[in-house]
């Protein structure tokens, strides 16, 4: 397996995370002007919440992405949609590439994250709420089976609420597998 996960250590991983969340491409993460101590405080709060936690995704043992998992009923989404048993919320931030872009990399990361979440039998649906203006993540979400449900207003943004059921994910993954066998080597997905 290419990707593995480990629990984020708010203090030990703060410099690394700071280098990611302050990149211009991470503007939708909302931490462009954060200092290292702000990152420590935010992730210490997340890890201590009991309903929201962060994991580092590793690519061959090297940190490559940040994944947050949360309970929608304990988040700003509470009351904005009918939370169902088995719903889990997710945020994803991929690190800047160290050796230039790799075609299909972000799709592979998202696939690994969804596979990780759906590996737990109690997870029936993954919920995301990216900024409504973040068209790149909307396209990635749709590629992996997310169905848009509409715009919701959260304290920090207008967001596109989307859901991915286990069956939608498996169908999207099968389509990607089929596509990858018919696309010439080196072409981007």
Other CB atoms within 10 Å distance of the CB of residue 171: 12
The predicted pLDDT at position 130 comes to 96
Domain range enclosing 107:
3-182
The predicted pLDDT at position 8 comes to 97
Contacts of residue 61, defined as CB under 8 A and 6 or more positions apart, other chains included, come to: 4
Give the C-alpha separation, 139 to 38, whole Å: 30
Using the predicted structure, report yes or no on whether residue 182 has a pLDDT greater than 80.
no
| C-alpha separations of 113 from 48, 52, 139 in Å | 22, 16, 16
Whether 64 is in a domain gets the answer yes
Whether 136 is in a domain gets the answer yes
Give the mean model confidence (pLDDT) for residues 161-170: 97
162 strand-pairing partners: 128, 148
What is the value of pTM for the model shown?
Answer: 0.90
Taking a C-beta distance cutoff of 8 angstroms, is the pair 143, 87 a contact? no
Whether 71 is in a domain gets the answer yes
Instruction: Tell me the pLDDT tens digit for each residue of 36-78.
Output: 999 999 999 999 999 999 999 999 999 999 999 999 999 999 9
Using the predicted structure, report yes or no on whether residue 163 has a pLDDT greater than 80.
yes
Whether 147 is in a domain gets the answer yes
Q: Which residue has the tokens 């997310």?
A: 146
**Number of structural domains in the chain:** 1
Taking a C-beta distance cutoff of 8 angstroms, is the pair 109, 57 a contact? yes
| C-alpha separations of 35 from 43, 52, 138 in Å | 13, 22, 28
Whether 79 is in a domain gets the answer yes
Whether 188 is in a domain gets the answer no
The predicted pLDDT at position 99 comes to 79
Using the predicted structure, report yes or no on whether residue 189 has a pLDDT greater than 80.
no
Percent of the chain with pLDDT strictly greater than 70: 93
Taking a C-beta distance cutoff of 8 angstroms, is the pair 95, 106 a contact? no
Using the predicted structure, report yes or no on whether residue 117 has a pLDDT greater than 50.
yes
Percent of the chain with pLDDT strictly greater than 90: 86
Identify the CATH number of the domain in which residue 11 sits: 3.40.630.30
Instruction: Tell me the pLDDT tens digit for each residue of 94-105.
Output: 998 877 788 899
Using the predicted structure, report yes or no on whether residue 187 has a pLDDT greater than 80.
no
Instruction: Tell me the pLDDT tens digit for each residue of 68-92.
Output: 999 999 999 999 999 999 999 999 9
The predicted pLDDT at position 101 comes to 80
CB-count exposure of residue 66 (10 Å: 0-12, 13-18, 19+): buried
Whether 189 is in a domain gets the answer no
Under the banding of pLDDT at 50, 70 and 90, the label for residue 181 is: very low
Give the mean model confidence (pLDDT) for residues 16-27: 95
Whether 75 is in a domain gets the answer yes
């Amino acid at each position: 397996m290419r990707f593995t996960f480990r629990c984020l250590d708010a203090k030990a991983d703060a410099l690394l995370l700071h280098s990611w969340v302050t990149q211009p491409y991470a503007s939708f993460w909302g931490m462009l002007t954060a200092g290292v101590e702000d990152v420590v405080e935010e992730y210490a709060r997340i890890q201590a919440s009991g309903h929201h936690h962060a994991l580092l995704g590793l690519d061959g043992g090297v940190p490559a992405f940040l994944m947050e998992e949360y309970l929608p009923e304990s988040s700003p989404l509470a009351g904005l949609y009918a939370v169902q048993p088995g719903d889990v919320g997710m945020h994803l931030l991929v690190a800047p590439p160290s050796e230039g872009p790799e075609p299909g990399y972000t799709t592979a990361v998202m696939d690994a994250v969804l596979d990780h979440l759906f590996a737990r039998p109690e997870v029936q649906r993954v919920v995301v709420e990216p900024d409504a203006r973040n068209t790149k993540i909307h396209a990635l979400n749709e590629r992996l089976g997310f169905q848009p449900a509409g715009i919701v207003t959260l304290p920090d943004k207008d967001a596109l609420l989307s859901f991915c059921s286990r069956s939608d994910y498996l169908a999207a993954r099968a389509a990607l597998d089929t596509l990858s066998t018919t696309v010439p080597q080196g072409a981007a997905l």
